[in-house]
Structure 1
């Protein structure tokens, strides 16, 4: 591919690019929304059209085949996603519920066009960058209006949730597990969304996060406002940043500060985070040079538009004998979405949840031309199949010995608030 740089007004040109991308079956947009740290690589990147595609179901040696696929395309951006249900390939687990969204368990593609926005410049990689630039420039701005018609229902009633909560709490009391991340699905099986790109913009406006993503494959859409990094590679360093510990924002500065302090000193939320930090340290050990796993930030308090979160950072030096996909396989799925011990917690979640998680709790991200990769945790995410009219989003929370059903159920509703707000704002 050729590359060229153009001076643009990034926000306006991105709007045109989203409108122009409607004519393609494969589109992926990553947005960091101004959040950056020493591990950041992408501010805003858009991948359009597919030269080659990788797809897989659990049980088809997904990670081994994905490594082979990406080895065929060195020096390329390769965006894609991994479903939570790949756990069934990695461990003796199964998912009893149907795949209602119709998404595969893994999907990656090699784009024909890359748009990378940096300040007010645009880097275009394509067969003919100037032609792409001109085509987008001549496009209309994305119509910011969208329409959703349908009715959101819960797959798990409040009573069902409380019953599942009590059952899992019993397992904790018996010593079967320390923690489990119980999730529930909200869905609409007759949904119609006009202009999903505009809905993503609205969700991103309501809930800007560091790992936001719009992913389109034909008539299937993922609209993600994820704040959590699952796993990244930067050079020879692996980084994971699990989130455990959530609080709503306050109505004013005084209440907001009070809620932040309450979260930072909440023994239950701290215990949740520490348990997952230990789990991630153990996962990374399988791919690390011995003695290099370390907690580089413990219980960092971060504020987003709707919530405060406790985020820890664990890093290590990658074992040079391991491939990228072996590293991902050794840590998948994200420990923050399972519980501890990991396999036992996943078994219990399979038993007491009432729907297949699918893409939710999995990961979306990319392999980059410089040999790095970055994957988010799929949370705060809307899944929509326009062909079957099925819409879905999940929320969840960690159950520990000190957890209370009422507050955990309320936390689930808080986590889904941005998606509901976006859907109802047309």
Structure 2
């Protein structure tokens, strides 16, 4: 694979590159939207056209993925894991249908890698200059506006059904079965034809986030505005950054300040975050050098376009006898999307949620050629099957003993607002 660097108008070239990429069956694009911390590795990265791929609908998925990674140890390898792989890890089941038709896991080895940095683009492929010229000459199609599509979004779970499920969860908390659970609901639209790339670009404009992703395999698309890191590895350090605690943005700087102060001092939101930090620490212990698990940064407020969030950072030194994929498996799925205790919470979610999570609450990310990896939590994300024209997204929130049903339901709608705004869609009652 050859490499070449070109000086470009980065924003224009990035848009052209994404448009150019749509000719391929396999496309993965990550962008950080200017958010960065000491663990950030890429600004924007585009991977296209599989030279080899791993697809799994059932079986020993993590074990088979281990073998696939071993065949391609020094390559970029983007992909995703479905939340429902919990059924392989624990004795759990998912009864709701797979309406989107996504596999449980998918990874590919790209023929072309394009990295975007400030005013430079680095292209890796067989003929970087040919690729550059092809992208440079790409023209943008005229897309119908989203407002003209008249998309009608429905709730899989009515407000009454949500509150009934909420009350059942509270009973389980009172009985001591769990002490926190993430109850999620699906929003969906049928017979929808749209341009996934146009939707993604608009979603990223409405809600720019550090773990934004556009992922395409054939007719299936993940359009993600995720703010949350599930698990990353930098050299021998594992990093998880669970989000728990949400508040809406204010209309003014002063109102924002008051909301942030209230969030930082909200006992319920703090309790949610502390519980999940304990769960993540426990998960990481299984893959860590003894005594190395730390949660030095807790309850930090991060501000995004739509919401303020409480984020904590948990790290450890990875046990060298544990493989990267085993470390992911032993932490999967993200504790912020389950509750605690983890297995009990997932069982109850299977009982009271009336839709399959699928890729939602799973993870999208990459392994890199140097042995690092980075995976998000698939939240604030649209999933779309262009063949059966089914569009879906989920939202959810943590329920603790002090939770209020009306407020939790309102938080689900708040989290849905960016996607509804992106689609210019009408939410049907």
Give the drift of 1:131: 0.7
DSSP-derived class of the 1:192 partner? coil
Query: What CA distance in whole angstroms lies between the structure 1 residues aligned with 2:64 and 2:55?
Result: 10
Give the drift of 1:150: 3.0
DSSP-derived class of the 1:152 partner? strand
Aligned position for 2:77: 78
Aligned position for 2:285: 285
Give the drift of 1:61: 1.2
Query: What CA distance in whole angstroms lies between the structure 2 residues aligned with 1:356 and 1:339?
Result: 17
Aligned position for 2:302: 302
Q: Which runs of 5+ in 2 are unaligned?
A: none
> Matches of residues 411-426 of structure 1 in structure 2 within 5 Å?
411-424=411-424
Aligned position for 1:188: 189
Aligned position for 1:315: 315
Query: What CA distance in whole angstroms lies between the structure 2 residues aligned with 1:336 and 1:310?
Result: 12
Give the drift of 1:189: 2.0
Query: What CA distance in whole angstroms lies between the structure 1 residues aligned with 2:143 and 2:6?
Result: 25
Give the drift of 1:146: 4.4
Query: What CA distance in whole angstroms lies between the structure 2 residues aligned with 1:292 and 1:208?
Result: 33
Moved more, 245-254 or 393-402: 245-254
Aligned position for 1:179: 180
**Deviations for 1:354-400, whole angstroms, at most 9, x for unmatched residues?**
10000000000000011000000000000000000100000000000
Aligned position for 2:92: 93
- RMSD of aligned alpha carbons: 1.2
Query: What CA distance in whole angstroms lies between the structure 2 residues aligned with 1:416 and 1:78?
Result: 30
DSSP-derived class of the 2:330 partner? helix
Is the 2:366–2:373 Cα contact (8 Å) retained in structure 1?
Answer: yes
TM-score by length of 1: 0.98
Is the 1:184–1:395 Cα contact (8 Å) retained in structure 2?
Answer: yes
Is the 2:104–2:359 Cα contact (8 Å) retained in structure 1?
Answer: yes
**Deviations for 1:63-120, whole angstroms, at most 9, x for unmatched residues?**
1111111111122111000000000001010001000011001000110000000111
Is the 2:112–2:123 Cα contact (8 Å) retained in structure 1?
Answer: yes
TM-score by length of 2: 0.97
DSSP-derived class of the 1:30 partner? strand
Query: What CA distance in whole angstroms lies between the structure 2 residues aligned with 1:44 and 1:142?
Result: 23
Is the 1:287–1:319 Cα contact (8 Å) retained in structure 2?
Answer: yes
> Matches of residues 20-419 of structure 1 in structure 2 within 5 Å?
20-58=20-58, 60-141=59-140, 146-147=145-146, 148-193=149-194, 195-419=195-419
Query: What CA distance in whole angstroms lies between the structure 1 residues aligned with 2:33 and 2:144?
Result: 21
Moved more, 322-331 or 16-25: 16-25
Query: What CA distance in whole angstroms lies between the structure 2 residues aligned with 1:225 and 1:300?
Result: 20
Query: What CA distance in whole angstroms lies between the structure 2 residues aligned with 1:4 and 1:254?
Result: 48
Give the drift of 1:144: 6.7
Is the 2:153–2:425 Cα contact (8 Å) retained in structure 1?
Answer: no
Query: What CA distance in whole angstroms lies between the structure 2 residues aligned with 1:412 and 1:48?
Result: 34
Q: Which runs of 5+ in 1 are unaligned?
A: none
Moved more, 262-271 or 71-80: 71-80
DSSP-derived class of the 2:152 partner? coil
Is the 1:249–1:259 Cα contact (8 Å) retained in structure 2?
Answer: yes
Query: What CA distance in whole angstroms lies between the structure 1 residues aligned with 2:137 and 2:144?
Result: 20
DSSP-derived class of the 2:409 partner? helix
Moved more, 367-376 or 149-158: 149-158
Is the 1:234–1:372 Cα contact (8 Å) retained in structure 2?
Answer: yes
